Amino acid sequence: MPERITDELLLEKAGAGDPAAFINLYERHRAAIFRFSYRLSGSVEAAEDITHDCFLGLIKKPENFRPERASLRTYLFSAARNLWLKQLRDFGRESAMDEYAENQFIAGGKEPLGGLLDDELSVKVQEAVSSLPPLQREALVLFEYEGLALNEIASMVGTDVGAVKSRLHRARERLRNRLRPYLATSRELNTSREIVTLEQA
Partner 1 sequence: MSSTIPPEGPGESLIIEDDLQSLLERWIVPEPSKTLDQRVANSYHREMGSADAVADAAQFPQGQNEVVKMKFCSTCKEEFADKFSFCPVDGTPLNVLVSEPKNKVVNSPSFTDSVSAGSPVLAGTGSVALVQRGEYHLTMIDDAGLVGRLAKEVAYVAHEYQLTWPEFKRDPFGFSKRSLLGYGQMAAKFFANRNVVLGLIVAILAMVGLVGIIGLLDRAQPGGISRTGFITFALVAGIMLAGIFVTWLRKSQSGAVLGAPDAESTNAVFGMVAAFSVFLLLIGGGVLYNFWEKRIEERQATEQDVVQNFIDIPNEQPTPDEGTAGLNKGKGGGSKPKQEKPGGGGGGGREEQKPASFGKTPQASLTVPQVVAPDPHPPAIKNPVLPVAATVVADPMLVPPDARVLAYGDPKSKSTDPSSGPGTGNGIGTGKGGGIGPGEGGGIGPGRGGNIGGGDYHEGGGGPGGGGGGTDYNRIFSGKDVTSKARILSKPEPQYTEDARKNQVTGTVVLKAVFSSSGQVTQIRAISGLPNGLTERAIAAARSIKFVPATKDGHPVSMWFQLEYNFNLY
Q: How far is Cα 144 from Cα 129, in angstroms, rounded to an integer?
A: 11
CB 81 within 8 A of CB 53: no
Please report whether residue 20 would count as binding partner 1 according to CB under 8 A.
yes
CA end-to-end span of the chain, whole Å?
41
| Binding residue (CB under 8 A) for partner 1 from 71, 85, 95, 165 | 165
Nearest distance, CB of residue 3 and partner 1, angstroms: 12
- Please report, as residue ranges, which positions from 105 to 164 form the binding site for partner 1 (by CB under 8 A): 106-107, 118-119, 121-122, 125-126, 129, 140, 143-145, 147, 149
Q: Using CB atoms within 10 A of its CB, is residue 115 exposed (0-12), middle (13-18) or buried (19+)?
A: middle
The count of residues interacting with partner 1 (CB under 8 A) is 52
- Please report, as residue ranges, which positions from 27 to 56 form the binding site for partner 1 (by CB under 8 A): 27, 30, 34-35, 38-39, 44, 47-48, 51-52, 55-56
Q: How far is Cα 190 from Cα 95, in angstroms, rounded to an integer?
A: 33
**Part of the chain binding partner 1 (CB under 8 A), chosen from 12-20, 63-71, 77-85, 155-163:** 12-20
